Structure formats: C-alpha cells, structure tokens
Structure 1
Amino acid sequence: MKSAVLQKIAAQLQAATEEWGLTDKITACDNASNMVLANRTIADWESVPYYAHTLQIAVSEGFKVGSLNRVVAAYGRLVSHFHHSTVATAGLKKKQDAQNLHKHKLIQYSRKRWNLICDMFERLHEQRWAVSAALSDRTITKLNDARTLELTDQNGQVIEDILPALQSLKCATTALCSETHVCISLEHPVSNSLLTRHLMSIPGESRVVCEFKEAVATSLRECIIPESDDTSANAGKKPLFIASGLDPRHKHLRHVAQTHRVEIVENV
C-alpha cells in the first residue's frame, strides 16, 4: 500500500515538473518523509526542512522548561476564569474603564499553537493592572479564587522578560509561513539572527527565561547549523545558501562562514 502511494506521489511530481517545464531545473523539495522517498525514484533532489515545523519543534522544546510550563498553565487557568465567569468578565471591563485601558479580551493559549502563548502573554502584560484589580475586588472574585489565580510579581517578570524573544520567534514564523511571500533564502539569515541576537541570554534575566532561550537555541542549531558547518562537504552548493546568495537582501552572506562565501558566489 505504501509503495503504491509513493509511486503515485512520484508520478504527480514528475507530471508537474514536465507540465511547468521544470525538468532538470529543480534541486530541492520538502523533507516530509513521503516526499523524500518519492522523489528518490525520479530525481536526486535535496531535502529542505520546512522551516515553520523546525521552529515549532524548537520552541516546543523551550516550553518544556519546568518552571515556564507551570507559568503557562497558571495563566491559562486565569484566562479560563475570565472567559467562563460573566461576573469576572463584566468586572474586568469596569476595571479597564477605570484605568483607561482598551477593552481587549484575554487570549487563551493552545498547546498546538505556541504563537497563542505569545499572544496570551502580550494581552496579560497589557491588561495586568486591570486583571489584578479585578482579582482584588471581592465583589468580582471570591477570595479562594483570587488566591489561586493571583498574578505574582515573579511570574509577571517572567512574562516581561520572555516576551521579546517570543515576539522575535513569532515574527520569524510569520515571515517564513506566508503563502504569498515564502522564500527559502530567508531561512539561514533568520536563524542566524535568532541565534546570535534574540536567543542570547541578557544579564539580569530570570533563570527560567535563560533556560527557555537555551533550549530553543539548542534545538534550532541541531536542525539548521549542520548545513552550515565548516566541515560539511560541498556546503557552498547547498540550496539554502544558493538561495540566499541570489537574494539581494542577503547576497552579502554575512550569516555564512567566510570559508563558504567564495564557493557560494562561484556557484551563483
């Protein structure tokens, strides 16, 4: 059964390349397992990782950090409380009015979409004082609920410290997932920017944020960096490097090891 499916995929790939006049012009394809196995039967295309999936795996590794995982779960319960209680919802709106804040609803996260964790943190950071006021008001929140849902200063600091990194990761995902502006030439430059700037620890950051950055960076390096390793054979012929060399925005190739730049330029 699997062999038949692979043959069908291979036939469709071959038909598409012939229809569009791309025979002998394609050098790489998606690295989904079926695609890799199918293309081996018709061509020697190189497998290129789907960057959004790579980034998804890397960020997921970061959120496995124990203390951060607990912060996410705690704020998930807080948001759920305001979503399911009409009294809490109405009370939050009153506190937003009193503090001249936008009447934005709190955002619930999803474990399958880490971008929503970023959105949840952003909204809670924006509405922190209105939420705290609603939790402190006994006409809105019962004492037992308030004790369970309280926004601690420590957790608030975690949100403030981690938001810049999450926003950078979200921006990278958005830039490389657009259906109208997808461009593999961005993969290495974006990864390099994340690893050398946005995922670097900053003095004074909390331990949980440092651990998150380290976990994401480690996972990202394992997926991306082997392709740019100084010792890799024919690194200058890699499709991602060639794509960057052809892109006017990144033709300087600052994100590539100096030893490969000449080879890439020659191949371009």
Structure 2
Amino acid sequence: MPLEERHTAANIADWIEEVIVKFNIPPEKIKAVVHDNGANVVAATKILHAKHGYEPVTCAGHTLNLVVQNSLKSQQAISRCVGAARTLVEHFKKSELASTKLKVKQRNMGTKENMLLQDVCTRWNSTYAMLTRLQEQRWPVTATLSDPEVTQRGKHYLDLKPDQWGLIEELNQVLEPFHSATVLMSGEQYVTLSSLPHVVDKIKKLLQNLESPPVVSFQTHAKEQVTTRWKNLGEFKPESPNITLLAASLDPRFRKLKFLPADQVFGVKNTLQTMALAVKQQVRPTGSRNETSSTAEGTPSAA
C-alpha cells in the first residue's frame, strides 16, 4: 500500500489508519508506533497519539546513527580525518591497480585479505566499519600507497598522517559501543524495546574521556545528543505511563530498573501492579462463570 499522496503528517497518519483496517489489526492491540526522525513522520505519530493513544517510539538504530554522524561532524579534526579516510578508500575502490597491489601487500605481510569498506552516512555503522577496516589494513595500505607504480609523484597526500591514524584508533574505541548498541537494537528474533533504557544508560557511562582533545569533544557532543534525543526515556508519570519503562520492568534482565532513581522505580512497579490487578479483575468473572458451568455439568442429577 504505497502512499501516493504528499507525505504530509496528516496523510501519513491517515495512511497508517488505512493499513490497520486493511490488515484487520484490532486497534486496541496497538500500543506504539515505531518511527524514524523525519519531521513529517514525527508529526504523524503525534496525530495518532492524540487520536488513538498510540505511543510514539523513535527507532533506536536510526537515532544512534544520527548521534554518531552529528558528533563526527561537530569536531573539525575528526571531520577532516573521516573525510580523508573516505577519499583514501574511494581511491582503492576506483583504482584496479591499487586494489590489486593491496592484495599482494596483504599476502606478503600476512594480513587478512579483506577489502576496504566505503561508508554511507545513512547506513548504520558504516563509518565505524570503514574505520575499523582501515585500522586493520593500515600497513598494507601504507605500503601500497608508497609503491611508485601505484601512487604517482605528488599524490602521496592520499595516505593518512600519523596523527590521523592515531585518531582513527581512538575513534574506533568510542564508536564501538554505538556499533554494539545498534546491532542489539536491530535484532528481529528477540524483544528490543525493553533493552532501550539499559542500552542508553550504558552508552552514557561508556563515553569516558580519552586523551585526544578531538575525541573528548566527540564524546561530549555524543553524550549531549543521546541525552537530548532520549530526554523523556527515564521519566515516568502514572497518568501517562512510559511503555518503554513498563516493558523493561517486565523483562527479567532489567526488571530491577537499576538505571532509574528509587522513586521512579517505585512508580513504575506500582503502576504495573495496578495494571495487572485491573486485567485480573477483568478476566476473573469469565473464569468464574466457566468454573460454575463446568461444576454444574459435572454434578449428577437427582434420581
């Protein structure tokens, strides 16, 4: 069911309602709508929340990628370094001679014969993949670029400077938690919503300052981005329950809610118990009637 009209918030909201009807999804079974960070999509989820109470849940993978990409651009030295790495990889992708020579150097040095990877800013974790692969292939790449058959005189600028290689190594350390979090939150064979508060809390704690000023700046910016983009994640109001925290409370791995202050934990647990009691009271009359009926059927009639 493609949306053929303009992708305005109202049209998107109407389209989602049509999809719900078309696939016979009981509206009362819908608790949340997962969405990306597009302004029109965010506005559409607000419309659905106002009309039906569907809770908007931002896609964790998309949000983490935005945090990483924005933070990489926030520091000039890092931005230049990533740009230089991108240019270097692109050179090997376009040059058959360079890529062939790289394989020879890899064999001679006993390095894994892995291809260099080009990043795409909209593809999750691709910048991390590019930088980790470059770090792995640093010496074969450097040796290849030093070969006069590959690099013409005056084009040695393609190779990264020692401080840039060092920066890449540090960047890989701080990007690794984002990579792991994205992989975890992109899972399709297990529940992910309940993991989100724990994952966000862990990322904040793992963003420890390293020595390099550019990386320190990256970490500071990334932490601010994570805090801002998930500013309501740790807030819980009984009158408007946070379904992410409720999900975490039901997950055996996170049910103690260690990432929340004690008063918030009490609020979540209390609300959950109230909800469970309400469900139990709704189910009990039906169960009682069935039990009575079964007893009556099993009672022998008087002779």
Question: Which bracket does the TM-score occupy, shorter chain normalised?
Answer: 0.7 to 0.9
Query: Which residue pairs with 1:30 in the alignment?
Result: 34
Say if 1:4 and 1:114 are closer, same or farther in 2 by CA, change over 3 A: closer
Say if 1:258 and 1:130 are closer, same or farther in 2 by CA, change over 3 A: same
1:220 pairs with one of 219, 222, 226 = 226
> Bigger radius of gyration, 1 or 2?
2
Query: Which residue pairs with 1:75 in the alignment?
Result: 85
What is the CA–CA distance in structure 2 between the aligned matches of 1:5 and 1:71, rounded to whole Å?
39
Query: Which residue pairs with 2:264 in the alignment?
Result: 260
Say if 1:235 and 1:166 are closer, same or farther in 2 by CA, change over 3 A: farther
How far off is 1:114 after superposition? 5.0
- Indicate yes or no: 2:247 matched with 1:243: yes
- Cα deviation code 1:170-202 (max 9, x no counterpart): 1111111223334210111000000012x2213
Q: Gaps (5+ residues) in structure 2?
A: 36-40, 273-303
TM-score, normalised with respect to structure 2:
0.77
RMSD: 2.3
Secondary structure (helix, strand or coil) at the match of 2:33 reads strand
Tell me if structure 1 keeps the 8 A contact 2:98–2:144: yes
Query: Which residue pairs with 1:6 in the alignment?
Result: 13
Size of the aligned set, in residue pairs, is: 258
How far off is 1:4 after superposition? 5.9
What is the CA–CA distance in structure 2 between the aligned matches of 1:222 and 1:193, rounded to whole Å?
16
Query: Which residue pairs with 1:154 in the alignment?
Result: 163
- The structure, 1 or 2, with the larger RCO (C-alpha pairs under 8 Å, 6+ apart) is 1
How far off is 1:214 after superposition? 1.3
TM-score, normalised with respect to structure 1:
0.87
Say if 1:104 and 1:140 are closer, same or farther in 2 by CA, change over 3 A: same
Say if 1:106 and 1:255 are closer, same or farther in 2 by CA, change over 3 A: same
What is the CA–CA distance in structure 2 between the aligned matches of 1:234 and 1:13, rounded to whole Å?
28
What is the CA–CA distance in structure 2 between the aligned matches of 1:35 and 1:212, rounded to whole Å?
31
Tell me if structure 2 keeps the 8 A contact 1:237–1:263: no
How far off is 1:246 after superposition? 0.4
2:208 is matched by which residue type in structure 1?
M
Tell me if structure 2 keeps the 8 A contact 1:93–1:103: yes
Say if 1:264 and 1:38 are closer, same or farther in 2 by CA, change over 3 A: closer
Query: Which residue pairs with 1:178 in the alignment?
Result: 187
Post-superposition, which runs of at least 4 consecutive aligned residues in structure 1 deviate over 6 A? none
The answer to which of 107-116 and 89-98 deviates more is 107-116
Tell me if structure 2 keeps the 8 A contact 1:118–1:163: yes
Query: Which residue pairs with 2:216 in the alignment?
Result: 210
- Cα deviation code 1:23-47 (max 9, x no counterpart): 2x54432353323313433x22322
Say if 1:72 and 1:95 are closer, same or farther in 2 by CA, change over 3 A: same
